[in-house]
Chains A and B, each alone.
Chain A
Amino acid sequence: MSNENEPAAPPRLALAGASKSFGAVHALRDASLELYGGHVRALLGENGAGKSTLVKTLAGVHRPDTGTVLVDGEPVSFHGPIDARDAGIAIIYQEPTLFPDLSVAENVFMGRQPLSAGKRIDRKALHERTAELFRQLGVPIAPERPVRGLSIADQQLVEIAKALSFEARVLIMDEPTAALSGAEVERLFRVTRTLKEQGAAIMFISHRLEEIFAICDQVTVMRDGAVRFSGELEGKSNDDLVRWMVGRDIDTLFPKVDSEIGAPVLSVHRLTREGVFFDISFEVRAGEIVALAGLVGAGRSEVARAIFGIDRADGGHVEMGGRRLPRAKPTAAMRAGIGFVPEDRRQQGLVMDLSIARNATMTQMSELSSGGIIRAARERALASDWATRLQLKYHKLDDHVGTLSGGNQQKVVLAKWLATSPRLLIIDEPTRGIDVGTKSEVHRLISELASRGLAVLMVSSELPEVLGMADRVLVMHEGRLTGEFSRAEANEEVVVRAMTGQKEEMAA
């Protein structure tokens, strides 16, 4: 094993000059990475920096457009996850994929169960071998118990046991600690160190910089689909890592219109939902765009959902224009003047099989109908009015909304809510999955609306969008507000520092 630590040996698994595009989006640009036996490499980057695409390329889920995957220095071509597994590559995803109804042992050995005479499964050997794997990992999970009811941390350990069972030589962990408690993280690290000592090549993805320093030997930092830094972790500081992760020009993509900021419209007082977010207080004023930034899982969307009343808050309350809103009542929130544009527009924002006109006017059905029957002429008139105002690009208003591009679908969702004349618009990920050209149109639209006095609360994972659009930036980390910055104060470094939960003092 020891000679594999020497740089002379070819890397266990490597990616050389890989690029991958999805439509117009360049998810991966000429990315290279090497994993060596007995070493742990960290992979860092903001949301959308291309980490998942890189992992999925190594896992055989995606095939790179250009460039190659190399195993032990030999180029290989994976046709699916099974090929990658057979090459000894195991991936532990944030959400493990297991069979809840089957026993732990069966989950570990599914399809590869030890057999006795007559091709029957040798249950005793199955349980003994599983117990042996968990002994190696040093964790007490009974092989006979069903997976249902195991914590996420234990389920990840079952995945790791599975990786051990087919003697995986490369272990890739995609944000394994995101859902774990402190003690569980400690245990995972202990297991990881054991595996490293046994000579496995490990890649570890996490947003928590302190974890990276605790366990990793090398680090690769990605930004905009490309590798910005790759090398030894030793001697690097938090600031170095953060600088490589961000440090991007905010171009003119965000035509922010100045607007007059008026009286508070929304005020949130100590809003809490147990285990999700805690003690969240802030205000949004008329004409103001407030961005809620943070990493995936920080609880941003959950706060937005609780304000609108989709999820019930356990503590605290929400006021609209000084009037307190009842908990968990979206209809009351709508009446109070809140519009809510959800993150997943295909599932929650639109009815894909209905026409553009019907979708755009859905919130106005009672106004458009007489005697319970929707008047088609009125519906068309209202829809075409909004289509003009939002510069919607469409063929016919009767076409299914699914025929529109992502950006234009988002405009339909906006039209639907703007038709209710809201005073506050909550927008979760306004430009997710929208091509660059239309993105700026959506931004222009939001900015214009704010300049006319609409209060906007925007949840966004894209830092340039946050910094380009917002009058004020609120940052969440693990369910708590960790930073608030005015437009003048906000820059990538301070926001990322707050997003990763680091204190100001550490920056110095």
Chain B
Amino acid sequence: MSTADVAVDRGPGGERSRRLTEMVFRMRELGIVLALALLIAVTAILEPRFIHLDSLQDLARNASIIAIMAAGQTMVLLTRNVDLSVGSVLGLSAFFAGDLLSNHHVAIPLVFLLCIVLGIVCGLINGVLTTFGKVPALVVTLGTLYIFRGIAFVYTNGRQINAETLPDKFLNIGTGTVWKIPTIALIAFVVVLIVGQYLRDFRSGREMYAVGSNEDAAKLAGIRVDRRIVTAFVASGALAGLGGALYTARFGTVDATAGTGYELTVISAAVVGGVAITGGVGSVYGAAIGAVLLGCITSSLIVLRIDSFWQQAAVGALLVAAIAFDRLVGLRLDSALRQRSARRA
């Protein structure tokens, strides 16, 4: 090929490839946004009260904690690991927050800080066992799922935190609004935005993608792979800790079982939102929209007075559909890219 060919190809060819790639990267999030819009539209037609302010505020509140935790989970998934312990960390942190406020009268900002620190400690344990212990994350976090929950049971010792013993200012964070937007949703928005910018525009964020995409190549590129994986677990733990404090603020009543089963909802949200369980692919925005979609399914089925059994089945079906869709797009994309390469060569 001569330089003339090169120049020609850099014109329209380069332009077209840019459009193709951009379209596909958006498509991952686009599909789920469409599904969300469709769900809201159908529900709103069947039951107009669904799009009243109260109802939408409630929807946002329900999705917020899951979205925050899904942001953390996204980082772990990107490095081709998984964090199953987030539900237990949330439970531990939720009771910790309630205990600090009602029995020790600790200042609210300090409560949030301590809950996050608690989450960081849990995440550090997961991360260190996974990287330096060389144990698969699935096993490590399955273990810590039970361990952290067990600690929560010992810690609560059968006690319960009630809303009456919590300061109103704190409860307001979970139930109040700022300019008609629920405070908790604003917090989730800020968290997702920060994590999203970090993963998009910072070297260490991009390195998480690199680690999950090809660990050997990451090592050869001089990336400190272990450190990136530990960072992801610490972030996931920290956000689960924050989620715990917000859980207490939102519901007021907390016992040792708070957040049981959340880990699966959180992972589902991320996967439905286009984060690949095999690492290297996905965005935190997709995961957040996934959280909203899951929350929306729950709410719409309640509004439509459909048996709650269907809710779980619907989430499951959505999960399978999301993965199938992703795989399909992946295959189409692969062959499209290969063909383009072939044509050029």
Contacts and interface: CB of A to CB of B under 8 A. Distances in A.
Interface of A: 81-82, 85, 97-103, 106, 110-111, 113, 115, 119-121, 123, 131, 135, 138-140, 142, 144-146, 148-151, 153-154, 181, 183-184, 187
Given A138-B3, A145-B17, A145-B337, A85 B203 contact: no
Interface stretch (B40-48, B51-59, B213-221, B297-305): B213-221
Chain B binding surface SS class: helix
A110 B210 contact: yes
Nearest to A180: B345
Interface residues of B, number: 45
B203 A101 contact: no
Nearest to B7: A140
A415 B98 CA distance: 68
A497 to B, nearest CB: 31
A106 B20 CA distance: 17
B202 A121 contact: yes
A184 B13 contact: no
A110 B206 contact: yes
Contacts of B280: 99-102
A97 B333 CA distance: 21
Contact of B6 (A138, A150, A183): A138
A111 B220 CA distance: 11
Contacts of B213: 99-102
Nearest to A110: B221
Given A99-B210, A102-B213, A111-B223, 17 more contacts: A85-B222, A98-B214, A98-B217, A101-B213, A102-B206, A110-B207, A110-B210, A110-B221, A111-B207, A111-B221, A113-B203, A113-B206, A140-B1, A145-B20, A145-B337, A149-B336, A181-B345
Nearest to B221: A110
A102 B334 contact: no
A144 B217 contact: no
A144 B212 CA distance: 19
B94 to A, nearest CB: 35
A181 B216 CA distance: 27
Contacts of A81: 219-220
B284 to A, nearest CB: 16
Given A100-B214, A110-B221, A110-B223, A148 B334 contact: yes
Contacts of A154: 341, 345
B316 interface: no
B317 interface: no
A111 B211 CA distance: 11
30 contacts: A98-B214, A99-B280, A100-B213, A101-B209, A101-B276, A101-B280, A101-B281, A102-B209, A102-B213, A102-B280, A111-B210, A120-B201, A121-B206, A135-B6, A138-B1, A139-B1, A139-B6, A140-B1, A140-B14, A142-B10, A142-B14, A144-B18, A145-B17, A145-B18, A148-B333, A149-B334, A149-B335, A149-B341, A151-B341, A181-B345
Contacts of B5: 140
B17 A142 contact: yes
A97 B217 CA distance: 5
Interface of B: 1, 3, 5-6, 9-10, 13-14, 17-18, 20-22, 201-203, 206-207, 209-210, 212-214, 216-223, 276, 280-281, 333-338, 340-342, 344-345
Contacts of B338: 149, 151
Nearest to A103: B21
A140 B13 contact: yes
A149 B14 contact: no
A103 B281 CA distance: 12
Contact of A146 (B223, B337, B345): B337
A181 B344 CA distance: 13
Contacts of A99: 209-210, 213-214, 217-218, 280
A65 to B, nearest CB: 24
Contact of A151 (B22, B206, B218, B342): B342
Contacts of A120: 201-202
B21 A97 contact: no
Contacts of B21: 103, 144-146
A202 B202 CA distance: 34
Nearest to A119: B202
A111 B276 CA distance: 22
A439 to B, nearest CB: 31
A194 to B, nearest CB: 11
Contacts of B334: 148-149
A153 B345 contact: yes
B206 A184 contact: no
B218 to A, nearest CB: 7
Nearest to A149: B337
B1 A82 contact: no
Contacts of A98: 214, 217
B293 to A, nearest CB: 23
B203 to A, nearest CB: 6
Nearest to A187: B1
A83 to B, nearest CB: 10
A138 B210 CA distance: 27
B286 to A, nearest CB: 14
Contacts of A113: 203, 206
A153 B333 CA distance: 19
B254 to A, nearest CB: 39
B203 A150 contact: no
Contact of B9 (A97, A100, A103, A140): A140
Contacts of A115: 203
Nearest to A83: B222
Contacts of B202: 119-121
A121 B201 contact: yes
A142 B217 contact: no
Contacts of A131: 10
A345 B220 CA distance: 29
A326 B212 CA distance: 42
A383 to B, nearest CB: 34
Closest 6 CB pairs of A and B: A149-B337, A140-B9, A99-B213, A101-B280, A97-B217, A101-B213
B209 to A, nearest CB: 6
A153 B206 CA distance: 25
A120 B10 CA distance: 27
Nearest to B209: A102
